[in-house]
Amino acid sequence: MNLWSRFRSWTAAMLRRTRMEREMDEEMRFHIEARTADLIRAGAPQPEALRQARLEFGGVETTKHECRDAVGVSFLETLLQDVRHGVRGMLRTPAFTAIAVIVLALGIGANTAIFSVVDAVLLRPLAYRDSGRLVTILMDGRFPVSVANYIDWRDQSRSFESMGAADYWSPNLTGIDSPENVRGLKVTQSLFPMLGVEPMLGRLFVEGEDKDGADREVILSYRLWQRRFSSDRNVLGKPIVLDGNAYMVVGVMPPGFQFAPFWATKAELWVPNAFGARIHDRGGNSLRIFARLRDGASLTQARAEIASITARLEQQYPGTNRDVVVTPLKEKVVGSIQTPLLVLLGAVAFVLLITCANIAHMLLARAATRQKEVAVRSALGARRGRLIRQFLTESLLLGSLGGAVGFVLAVVAMHALIALSPSTIPRVQTVSIDLRAALFLFSATILTSVGFGLAPALQASSVNMNDTLKEGGRGAGSGIRHNRLRAALVVSEFALALMLLVGAGLMIRTFAALEAVDAGFNPHHAVSMIVSVAGSREAEPGRRAIFYHQLIERVRALPGVEGAGGINHLPLAGDLWGWPFAIEGRPKPRPGESPSGVYRMVMPGYFAAMQLPIIRGRDVSDADTAAAPGVVIINECAANRYWPGEDPIGKRISFDEHKANPPTWLTIIGIAKNAKQGDWTADPDPEVYLAAFQNHEFLGNSKDSDPHISYITLVARTASDPAAVISAMKQAAWSFDRNLAIFQVVTMDGVVAEATAESRFEMLLLTIFASIALVLATVGIYGVIGYSASRRTHEIGVRMSLGATRKDVLLLVVKQGMWLTLAGLVAGLAGALVLSRLMTKLLFGVKPTDLLTFVAVAIGLGFVAMVACYIPARRATRIDPVTALRYE
């Protein structure tokens, strides 16, 4: 049926409807007039006759109503009628309506907001062609691999349609306005075609561009193109300067494009990856491998194949091909966040359940007061189904209002969630309240409405009309069954609230444990920033050392700065490159088993600035120049692991023993306290601090210097607010050279907060949900006990007149509430014991069955319940027995 004919049939029905109404009116008027005339003829006076005729006829409106029923009224009309009735009812009880709508809106809105996050982050496929077939191949499922391994896997495997690899690269973009360090990737030519993506402008890399010498091209992200090139289409074919070299722009990717979806998620430009001499390299692991499964090849087959290839390679080149894992790309992206998000979704669903139970309460209580209305309606011939339908329509009306307000709340909450979300949640920028979220909201609204409306509807419609009408206004049909339903609702509310509180409690304990973790250094009043020389004058060999030196001196001299130093990578910055080393005088270890340490390049003053204590020995000093003997500081972990029971100070290690002759030996001069390196909760690994000013490679003095290490992280210890010296520090650097890129300006407090951000996020949300649950459950029990106490006014009056004291009455009422609470607590504890296991991955320093949390939550909740019962109980004790008895 098209829209027009639909409209016509609707208008026809409407016209028929009005005609029927008119005729019905006329017909009944005729009846009454004819009857009146007859009565007058029989001798009655006119006004008396009319009155009599009307009386005999009965209710005209009721009759009309029944006539309409008799010919069958359309679904829509009944609905309209019920809606009208419902709206009137809602307007009559504005406070009830407002509370119900707010509670519902909270429940539905929170659920929709969380759902929109879960949907965007977990459920949606990655935005690549047939992304379910994409996998990553990494060491241990996490670590990058070497170029030679990549080439071997690519050439020897059959399960993959194509394979590509990417290296992280963050060059300085110079030559336009202020210099900026941009994040990017060096990718093999195969990578973009494998993803099945197309550029918005220009082209992708063509074959051969990842060969040496042909690699000076760049593809920009939409954002970078907008931000730095003012969305200029003519940028295609033009050169831009990256790390001092010219790259030609060949393409711009579309707005939504993101690659890589994990690790280098903020990449804004891509250049071809020319392996050059690295094709034979089986060390220097830096490549992330991506592959697409061939049609018909399963993940299991691919895994088996990679396992056999790497086993072969491991024999050939020991220590290079262990624990290579094939992981679906989606799993790699969302795997770690899946559990926390699902836990949050479950928690918020609990909140909605409690909301439902609460509204059901309120409706049940109201249904009790509406029993008379129901009885009258059924006496007038309303069938039970019709009554249920009307009640459900009213619930839906209430639910829809809640859903509408909930929609607004969801939008607000979603923005808050995005703002609060830790950076560890991938794809969070794609979260939006879209059609799917709207559909979710719609279904949640319907289900909720039916959920909270069904019980009261069944309850109310089963009223025995004779009893109710006889009982006058009291409507005492609220018998045992009625109360049992309400009791069940309260019990389940308490059980759900307890489970949520246990979850929140465990997260709070986790967060406290995280806060108590010793970072090793003092994060308060310390600030850091990365200063990159790439693309500037200071990058030239010979200049860097002088520049770094003078820069630190100048920062130290700034007012408010108490100390300053430099290092290549900060603790917690996520850089965990382990470098193998040899220990002087020890036998050559087997391949893959040599000692190694997370590799740091440190400048004098760093340890003092970070307040990272040197436990034994000394710090590097200005005397440790390139001309002086090589020195190194190790952390406690390295000392304990490689020199157990020995004093490592004075011992020598070498990083080039396997290739240099003679090797460079570095003397251990100090042992530093362990600092957190990557993961906040991980145990520290061995760490080695080399003296930066002794390292030619780091200073860019040797010819094959890695362009990666053309920056230092500057750290300053401040007297007061570290943020206050940031701009002075930047100016100090720029006073050397305007082309220096400065980025990742962070306070160390901020770095630590970032490390615990995910747990804080989870704790915050669970605590909010649990608080809502607590309030709702408390209101629930308060309502039920208060209601039942008011129902028992007569009974209490009798008891009191028979000699019951106020204390007896108090106990009587409170006891009833405490039984409900106890049942709820027991059910909740059982549920929490089962469900808290699901949270194991979110927890740190506390077991999912933590006794303290369980006991504290149960006691706390019990106490709150007691208070909630005490108030109506107190009121009950004030009952005047005489009044109470007369009440009957």
559 near another protein, rule: CB under 8 A: no
Residue of 21, 25, 33, 207 that binds another protein (CB under 8 A): 33
What is d(CA 395, CA 384) in angstroms, rounded to the nearest whole number?
Answer: 16
Among 27, 130, 647, 880, which residue interacts with another protein (rule: CB under 8 A)? 27
CB-CB neighbours of 115 under 10 Å: 23
376 touching another protein, by CB under 8 A: no
- With contact defined as beta carbons under 8 Å apart, do 759 and 510 qualify? yes
Helix, strand, coil percentages (3-state) for the chain, rounded to 5, are 55, 15, 30
The nearer residue to another protein, 1 or 71, going by C-beta atoms, is 71
Asked if residue 44 binds another protein (CB under 8 A), the reply is no
Rg (CA), the chain: 38
Residue 21 sits in the site that holds another protein (CB under 8 A): no
Its sign, for the CA torsion 321, 325, 330, 332, is negative
Nearer to another protein, 8 or 51 (CB): 51
Beta-bridge partner residues of 713: 530, 567
- Interactions with another protein, residue window 504-523 (CB under 8 A): none
Total chain residues near another protein (CB under 8 A): 24
| Least Å from the CB of residue 66 to another protein | 4
Burial of 608 (0-12, 13-18, 19+ CB in 10 A): middle
Closest CA to 49 of 61, 38, 60: 38
Check residue 37 for interaction with another protein (CB under 8 A): yes
User: What distance in Å separates the CA atoms of residue 255 and residue 253, rounded to the nearest whole number?
Assistant: 7
Does 31 help bind another protein (rule: CB under 8 A)? yes
Question: DSSP string covering 659-713, please?
Answer: T-SSPPPEEEEEEEPP---SSTTSPPPPEEEEEGGG-TTTTT-STT--TT--EEE
Report, in Å, the least distance between residue 41 CB and another protein: 11
Binding of another protein at residue 28 (CB under 8 A)?
Answer: yes
Closest to another protein by CB, 27 vs 207, is: 27
User: How far apart are alpha carbons 19 and 16 in whole angstroms?
Assistant: 5
Cβ-based nearer residue to another protein, 53 or 726: 53
| The only residue of 58, 559, 644, 662 in contact with another protein, by rule CB under 8 A | 58
Among 35, 142, 386, 556, binds another protein (CB under 8 A): 35
SS3 117: helix
Identity of the residue, 77 or 754, whose beta carbon is nearer to another protein in the bound complex: 77
CB distance 445 to 402 below 8 Å = yes
Told to check if 56 binds another protein by CB under 8 A, we report yes
When asked if residue 662 is in the footprint of another protein (CB under 8 A), the reply is: no
d(CA 502, CA 496): 10
User: 72 or 559, CB closer to another protein?
Assistant: 72
Q: What's the min distance (Å) between Cβ of 61 and another protein?
A: 10
DSSP 185: E
708 binds another protein (CB under 8 A): no
Residues 59-98, one symbol each (x = binds another protein by CB under 8 A, - = not), give: xx-xx--xx-xxxx--------------------------
Paired tokens of 380: 């007038």
Binding range to another protein, per CB under 8 A, among 24-32, 215-223, 371-379, 536-544? 24-32
b/e map of 620-652 (b: 16 or more CB within 10 Å)? beeebeeeeebbbbbbbbbbeebbeeeebbebb
Residue 26 CB, nearest approach to another protein (Å): 7
| 871-886 CB burial, b ≥16 within 10 A, e <16 | ebbeebbebebeebee
Distances (CA, A) of 759 to 748, 824, 838: 18, 29, 15
Q: Is 176 in the site for another protein (CB under 8 A)?
A: no
Specify the DSSP class assigned to residue 145: B
Q: Which is nearer to another protein, 37 or 76 (CB)?
A: 37
Closest approach of Cβ 6 to another protein, in Å?
24
CB nearer another protein, residue 20 or residue 810: 20
List b or e across 218-230, with b for residues whose CB sees 16 or more CB atoms inside 10 angstroms: bbbbbebbeebbe
Binding track over 765-794 against another protein, x by CB under 8 A: ------------------------------
| Distance of closest approach, residue 4 Cβ to another protein, in angstroms | 29
For CA atoms 743, 748, 749, 755, give the dihedral sign: positive
| Binding region for another protein (CB under 8 A) out of 58-66, 186-194, 338-346, 611-619 | 58-66
Q: Which is nearer to another protein, 24 or 200 (CB)?
A: 24
Single out the segment in contact with another protein by CB under 8 A; choices: 33-41, 496-504, 574-582, 710-718. Answer: 33-41
Which residue's CB is nearer to another protein, number 67 or number 823? 67
Q: Least CB distance from residue 85 to another protein, whole Å?
A: 20
Name, in order, each residue with C-beta under 8 angstroms of 835's C-beta and a sequence gap of 6 or more. 346, 499, 503
Q: What are phi and psi of 223, to 5 degrees?
A: -65, -45
User: What's the rounded Cα separation, in Å, for the pair 245 and 808?
Assistant: 89
Name which of 56 and 130 has its Cβ closer to another protein.
56
- Contact flag: residue 34 with another protein (CB under 8 A): yes
Q: By C-beta, is 62 or 429 nearer to another protein?
A: 62
CB 868 within 8 A of CB 781: yes
Nearer to another protein, 386 or 556 (CB): 386
| Least distance (Å) between residue 48 CB and another protein | 17
Nearer to another protein, 64 or 183 (CB): 64
Report CA-CA distances (Å) from 116 to 26, 356, 403, 429, 650: 57, 21, 15, 11, 59
Give me the least distance between CB of 87 and another protein, in Å please: 27
Nearer of residues 35 and 708 to another protein, judged by Cβ: 35
**57 touches another protein by CB under 8 A:** yes
Q: With binding defined as CB under 8 A, does residue 26 bind another protein?
A: yes
- Residue 78 or 301: the one with the smaller Cβ distance to another protein is 78
Q: Please enumerate in sequence order all residues whose Cβ is within 8 A of that of 645, keeping only pairs 6 or more positions apart, or say none.
A: none
Residue 53 CB, nearest approach to another protein (Å): 9
The tokens describing 100, both together, are 């119900």
Pull the structure tokens for residue 171: 């060059």
- Least spacing, CB of residue 36 vs another protein, in Å: 11
Choosing from 23, 232, 622, 679, the residue that interacts with another protein (CB under 8 A) is 23
Q: Measured in Å, how far apart are the chain's first and last C-alpha atoms?
A: 61
The answer to whether 742 and 733 are in contact (CB under 8 A) is yes
- Does position 13 interact with another protein (CB under 8 A)? The reply is no
Find the shortest distance in angstroms from Cβ 374 to another protein: 21
Smaller CB distance to another protein: residue 2 or 18?
18
Compute how many other C-beta atoms are within 10 angstroms of the C-beta atom of residue 683: 9
Out of 7, 10, 30, 887, the residue judged to bind another protein by CB under 8 A: 30
Binding residues for another protein, per CB under 8 A?
23-24, 26-28, 30-31, 33-35, 37, 56-60, 62-63, 66-67, 69-72
